[in-house]
A = this chain, B = another copy of it.
Amino acid sequence: MSPDRRTALAAQADVHRSPLRARRLGIHTHDQAVVFMRTDCHVCRLEGLTPHSRVLLSADDRETIATLYQVSNGLVGVDEAGLSEAAWAHLGLSDGDPLFARHPDPVLSLSRVRRRIYGTRLDEADLRSIMSDVVKGLYSDVHLSAFITAGAAVPLDREETVALTRAMVEVGERLTWSNGPVLDKHSVGGLPGNRTTPIVVSIIAANGLTMPKTSSRAITSPAGTADTMETLAPVDLDLPAIRRVVERECGCIVWGGAVRLSPADDVLIRIERALDIDSEGQLVASVLSKKIAAGSTSLILDVPVGPTAKVRSPEAAQVLSHTLSSVAGIFGLRTTIVLSDGSQPVGRGIGPALEARDVLAVLRQAPDAPPDLQQRACKLAGALLELGGKALQGQGETLALETLKTGRAWDKFQRICEAQGGMRTPPEAGQRHPLPAPAKGRVSSIDNRKIARLAKLAGAPEAKAAGVEMHVRLGDIVAAGQPVCTLHAETSGELDYALDYAAATNDIVSIEPQ
């Protein structure tokens, strides 16, 4: 249309550009932004919106793209837009706030994803624009999956891996620390009960090294480090609070989700999990971007190796380690890999409070502290003490153990908890039920995944006290009827769910006749 026609009709434009009223529907979608509008609302009519289309929502200065579901009944009013919790939080709304909705502009970075699908390598500018749009929520699951798949079908090369790592760091917040080495650790693959982090941080910080640790909550496991730590102290700290704690105590153990360090990783990891693919380049960028954004300079990578663990052979671990170290080096991050046994759960407890009890037992040097958890923590802390220059090569583990035995780690842990907002006592479960061995024999295998499922059915991680307490380890000899583990639950209903599963499932703990 020419300028003339535009002027002639301009008075009509904007007549229908009135907002909808935002309404919180209390719908939990994980991280998916969903908006519910009436099929016959003026916005759907004006914009020609159809179900399952992508819609740009804007309120004040915030905007996001949501998936539109249209409703034909009274779920929302004709002048309302109902929102999922993820969309609600992203837009920072209050009930009744005006909300505008329209067709989104084309997401330009998608053309770069398409080019990559058709074989053109991506450079830094490409990856920055893609990651920027990813964290703005402009990519649907279809788009995210295409990006992940393209980078697995034709693997990211080294330049792309470096550029992706950098882009993931750049689209989020960054922490910087003024002095000394900044230490970090990462565990690949969730081994139930592998809760070394609070112990490692306490040992490192007690030795005067800086370790600002951010951890995740459970997504598919019965407990993340943040869930466990939350039974001992507040973990929901913002960046200034993290800085205060670390400046005072050298270390912290907080929830990473409250700060936006490599937020693209949080989006991509859900897709990788759904596809169950873990291509090397993306794994490397995922791990490193979080650590670089946290300002780390030295990293220990804990890689449990075992038949039901993520990494199944020492050779696979070495290949991963090589790529990871070389990319990390470009960002000035020194990396050491520590292989560990991934064949059975660590410690006794599986579930937030039960794992916290194991952590406390090790820190307090209680007589019944699980030796495997202590040994793992000391191995990792020892390697970090060496990286941080507090111990000579080969002597870190001894220093770590000494830091535990003298009570300095326990003292430091209590100080960190106080600095994070005050130490707490982990809750105890009201409902307990032992699972007896059906016959005498030797414990020949323990299925990590089934044990994790049992703990989740008992209520973990939402029910903090719930989970599984292991009484046996591989190779133990048991008598018939002797408990192999005890279920902990907060309600009898949840206890029953876990018992149902145990009754219906083979080989959670296998006993071989002798």
CB of A338 within 8 A of chain B? no
Q: In the assembled complex, which residues on chain B have CB atoms less than 8 Å from the CB atom of A482?
A: none
Q: In the assembled complex, which residues on chain B have CB atoms less than 8 Å from the CB atom of A143?
A: 145, 274-275
Q: How far is the CA of A249 from the CA of B504 in the complex (A)?
A: 60
CB of A505 within 8 A of chain B? yes
Q: How large is the interface on A (under 10, 10 to 19, 20 to 34, 35 or more residues)?
A: 35 or more
Q: How far is the CA of A514 from the CA of B502 in the complex (A)?
A: 84
CB of A5 within 8 A of chain B? yes
Residue pair A25, B276 in contact (C-beta under 8 Å): no
Q: In the assembled complex, which residues on chain B have CB atoms less than 8 Å from the CB atom of A502?
A: 1, 5, 9
Docked complex: A130-176 residues within 8 A CB-CB of B: 140-146, 148-150, 152-154
CB of A46 within 8 A of chain B? yes
Number of copies: 2
Residue pair A500, B69 in contact (C-beta under 8 Å): no
Q: In the assembled complex, which residues on chain B have CB atoms less than 8 Å from the CB atom of A511?
A: 2
Most buried by B among A270, A275, A276, A507: A275
For A1-37 the 0/1 string (1 means CB < 8 A from B) is: 1101110111011111000000001111111101010
* CB of A102, distance to nearest CB on chain B (Å): 12
* CB of A105, distance to nearest CB on chain B (Å): 14
Residue pair A275, B28 in contact (C-beta under 8 Å): no
Q: How far is the CA of A270 from the CA of B15 in the complex (A)?
A: 33
CB contact between A34 and one of B69, B110, B150 (< 8 Å): that residue: B69
CB of A438 within 8 A of chain B? yes
Docked complex: A450-495 residues within 8 A CB-CB of B: 453, 456-457, 459, 493-494
CB of A424 within 8 A of chain B? no
Binding stretch for chain B, among A111-119, A184-192, A316-324, A347-355: A111-119
Q: In the assembled complex, which residues on chain B have CB atoms less than 8 Å from the CB atom of A503?
A: 1, 5-6, 8-10, 12-13
Residue pair A506, B1 in contact (C-beta under 8 Å): yes
Residue pair B52, A29 in contact (C-beta under 8 Å): yes
CB contact between A499 and one of B9, B32, B114, B456 (< 8 Å): that residue: B9
* CB of A230, distance to nearest CB on chain B (Å): 18
CB contact between A153 and one of B6, B15, B150, B277 (< 8 Å): that residue: B150
Residue pair B117, A149 in contact (C-beta under 8 Å): yes
Docked complex: A239-294 residues within 8 A CB-CB of B: 270-271, 274-277
Q: In the assembled complex, which residues on chain B have CB atoms less than 8 Å from the CB atom of A219?
A: 50
Binding stretch for chain B, among A71-79, A197-205, A300-308, A415-423: A71-79
Residue pair A72, B26 in contact (C-beta under 8 Å): yes
Residue pair A73, B145 in contact (C-beta under 8 Å): no
Q: How far is the CA of A70 from the CA of B72 in the complex (A)?
A: 20
Given the interface contacts A13-B503, A32-B52, A456-B48, does A149 sit within 8 Å of B141 by beta carbon?
no
Can you list the 10 inter-chain pairs with the closest CB atoms, starting with the nearest? A9-B503, A30-B52, A26-B73, A145-B145, A4-B438, A153-B153, A28-B51, A149-B149, A2-B438, A48-B456
